[in-house]
Amino acid sequence: MLKGRHLIEPGDFSLDEIESIMQLADNIIANPEGYSLVCKGKLLASLFYEPSTRTRFSFEAAMLRLGGEIIGFDDPSNSSVSKGESLGDTIRTIECYSDIAVIRHPREGTARLVSKFAKEMPIINAGDGGHEHPTQTLTDLLTIRKFKGGCDHHVVGVCGDLLFGRTIHSLVKMLNRYQGVKFVFISPKELRMPENILGHLDAHVYTETDNLDEVIGDLDILYMSRVQRERFVSEEEYLRLKNYYVLDKKKMKNAKADMIVMHPLPRVNEIATEVDDDPRAVYFNQAKYGMYVRMALIAKLLGVEDKK
């Protein structure tokens, strides 16, 4: 039963619960009209303390497409945060007006912290610093199901900024719960997967390399990621590493015919635009699935999943 629960990291939900969200997302995709009023009279608070395009717009579109409404901010300087109000007081106040809240914040652990202040209102983590991004993971799982038929038994290459990439941290921990998934972590040594994530994995399920060309032919899924400028202490270090990997048509020639390329977006230079027309490039499909899976999540957490 997901009604009333928070989603702070993917481990908060069992595989069965995640499967139920995927099935509801499938039903919504098949029959969006049937779900267009299930959130009538409900309000979603959208609290973005950090920039976002996909997550904020897809959550807001999701709530509107379910017949609900939204309040919130994407610039905290327009809220009483700018007067020094604490996050706890902000959440306790927003709970007076809203049925569910989505929060993105640059500081790791913020979503978990604020969830302690919400007595009845489900809190959804829309990304907390370099920590977790669970709804991107739901998006990624739905995309993998749609293009690869399921999440078991894939070789998944994860390439780019593995140190700061919160979408990657959430996805790797999640996919490790499926059967027979093997990871190839592809990064410069400065941006290696952190030990706290590797610690979740058995040594035999992953390898590490800095050479994308050498491994691309082995992969079923290539998950590219942006070098996260906003998390670097040194601009010089960012500039040195930002173009370490650029996936282009030449590299794609060595990939399997049915490999898929995923990316949580935004991209900067790490995938050349010439790859966008390759049928294996599914990152814009992924962005679209993000809205449907968030519709399913909202409906589940509000307990309104039965279509009208």
Residue 104 annotated as part of some ligand binding site: yes
Phi then psi dihedrals of residue 206, to 5 deg: -140, 155
Pick between residue 260 and residue 265 the one whose CB is nearest to ligand CP. Answer: 265
Residue 54 annotated as part of some ligand binding site: yes
Q: How far is the CB of 266 from ligand CP (least distance, A)?
A: 6
Which phi-psi region, left, alpha or beta, contains residue 152 (left: φ > 0; alpha: ψ -120 to 50)? beta
Q: How far is the CB of 198 from ligand CP (least distance, A)?
A: 23
27-66 mask for ligand CP (x: CB under 6 A)? Answer: -------------------------xxxx-----------
Nearest-angstrom CA–CA distance, 96 and 118:
10
Nearest-angstrom CA–CA distance, 156 and 201:
14
Among 4, 34, 217, 266, binds ligand CP (CB under 6 A): 266
- Find all residues with CB under 8 Å of 288, minimum gap 6, and list them: none
Instruction: Identify whether the C-beta of residue 71 lies closer than 8 Å to the C-beta of residue 45.
Output: yes
Q: How far is the CB of 197 from ligand CP (least distance, A)?
A: 18
Q: Which stretch binds ligand CP (CB under 6 A): 10-18, 90-98, 238-246, 260-268?
A: 260-268
Long-range interactions of 192-196: CB distance < 8 A, separation 24+: 192/162, 192/163, 193/158, 193/162, 193/163, 193/168, 194/162, 194/163, 194/169
Is the omega angle on the peptide bond into residue 279 within 30 degrees of 0, that is, cis? no
Pick between residue 206 and residue 245 the one whose CB is nearest to ligand CP. Answer: 245
106-145 mask for ligand CP (x: CB under 6 A)? Answer: ---------------------x-----x--x---------
Nearest-angstrom CA–CA distance, 51 and 53:
7
The answer to the question of residue 265 lying near ligand CP (CB under 6 A) is: yes
Residues in contact with ligand CP by CB under 6 A are: 52-55, 127, 133, 136, 264-266
Which residue positions form the known binding site? 54-55, 83, 104, 133, 136, 166, 226, 265-266
